[in-house]
Amino acid sequence: MHPPGFLKRRLLWPLLILAGSIGGFVALKMTRPVQPLVPVSERIWRVDVVTVRHGPAAPMLNLSGRVESPEQTRLAAASSARVLRVKVREGDKVAAGEVLVELDPRDIAPRVAQAQGAVDEIKAAMASEQLRHRADLDQVAAEQRLLQLAREDVARFQRLRREGFYSQAAVDQGSANQARQEMALRSRELAIAEHAARLAQLQARLDRAEADLAQARLAETRSRVVAPFAGVVAKVEVAAGDQVGINQALLSLYPWSALEIRAKIPAPYQDEFMRLGAARGDAVLADVRLPVRLLRLSGAADARGLDAFFAVQQGADRLRVGSLVALDVARATVQDAVLLPYDALYSGRTVYRIRENRLQAVAVTVMGEQPAAQAGAQPLLVVRAPELAEGAVVLRTHLPNAVSGLRVEVMEQK
């Protein structure tokens, strides 16, 4: 049994300990040393800049084009025959007159002989007709004399019949002889009259036969398919031993001199190029720039723009039909333009001028690109910026947090 007040004393001690701990914490907090306040400093960005210079500049329009050839030709078989040999492969460069494919001449020679036989046969028929005509001309005079004699006989028989010396049967027989002679003369005269028509028919047949012979000989000549111009083989469609028919394609070929690049000029620049009428630029390959010039514009446009055709002035042998190339085409010269690096442009239409070491946003209009003057250098933007005065300093370093009022420190001025 606990003495009186034991439970009260047991509960009091924890409360006293807790109160002492709180008092000690408060005393320590109130007597801690005071840290001095650190002043907040504005961050300064170290940047490069470029100095604004106004002057004329010719911006370049960047286009994507495809190489084409309006003179690409498909060489076909002039006659049905078997392919004897194919002497080129796709991509081969060939000279004008070089043999590309040979067809078996044994398949074509019989057709030439057959066509020659038809010509000889018709010529013989024409010679026979001329002989027959001369014979008709010689005999028509004799036929006329015989008819005259037959008429005189009939007249004499009729007179003697009236005098009672001849019977009616003799008169009738003479009349029949006269009629037969008249028919013979008319037949001879008809043959003479039809001579010109028969000769014209034979001449027409001869013309057709000679045309067939010429075609057969041409097919024989074309059994050796040769390059009509210097160029490159685009595609070979047959192999040795193939049986080909007349007008069947053998291979396709295009000349270096007729290569063109088709590119779509965007609709906003369509009127400008139509006014220019002529433009120059470069076709950009992996490591080289080929000079090009505008040949013509398409006769029809669509919602995307207008097709333009460019001729490659130098280095066309580096291109192939169907290749995709980039084009840098010169636009009309922009007066009072400013050249800026790509890093200076923000959101496609804003640059930052630096005044008193702070950024100030300025709106500009991008007119195009000007290629770098030196190999390996970056191209420059051609912009129109009326608010940028000559000698103004523009931010060149591309800051991710660029905003008007941002403080900067210029490290280098160009």
Q: Which numeric CATH code is attached to 76-105+223-255?
A: 2.40.50.100
Q: What is the DSSP string of 235-281?
A: EE---TT-EE-TT-EEEEEEEGGG-EEEEEEEHHHHHHHHHH---EE
Q: For each successive 10 residues of the chain (414 residues), what is the average pLDDT? A: 57 68 68 61 82 86 88 89 92 91 89 89 87 76 71 68 65 70 73 80 89 86 88 91 91 88 87 76 77 86 88 84 86 85 89 90 86 68 87 87 87 61
Give the per-residue pLDDT at 153: 66
Cβ distance 98 to 237 under 8 Å?
no
Give the per-residue pLDDT at 372: 67
Assign domain 49-58+336-413 to its CATH architecture: Beta Barrel (2.40)
CATH class of 109-218: mainly alpha
Give the per-residue pLDDT at 366: 86
Give the per-residue pLDDT at 262: 92
Domain 49-58+336-413 matches domain 61-68+259-330 at the CATH topology level? no
What is the per-residue burial (b if ≥16 Cβ within 10 Å, else e) of 376-395? eeebbbbbbbeebeeebbbb
The whole-angstrom distance between residue 88's C-alpha and the CA centroid of its chain comes to 24
Give the per-residue pLDDT at 291: 87
- List, in order, residues 6 or more apart from 185 with CB less than 8 Å away: 140, 143, 144, 146, 147
What is the tens place of the pLDDT at every residue in 22-75?
766 666 666 666 666 555 567 888 888 888 899 888 888 888 899 999 889 999
Give the per-residue pLDDT at 377: 67
Stretch (H or E) spanning 121: helix 109-162
Give the per-residue pLDDT at 251: 94
* CA nearest neighbour of 327 among 299, 298, 285: 285
- List, in order, residues 6 or more apart from 233 with CB less than 8 Å away: 88, 89, 90, 91, 92, 94, 100, 251, 252, 253
Residue spans per domain, the chain: 49-58+336-413, 61-68+259-330, 76-105+223-255, 109-218
Q: Which numeric CATH code is attached to 61-68+259-330?
A: 2.40.30.170
Give the single-character DSSP code of 30: H
Joined together, the tokens standing for residue 309 give 């055709």
Give the per-residue pLDDT at 314: 84
What is the tens place of the pLDDT at every residue in 138-175?
777 777 777 677 676 667 666 766 666 666 666 667 67
Cβ distance 328 to 61 under 8 Å?
yes
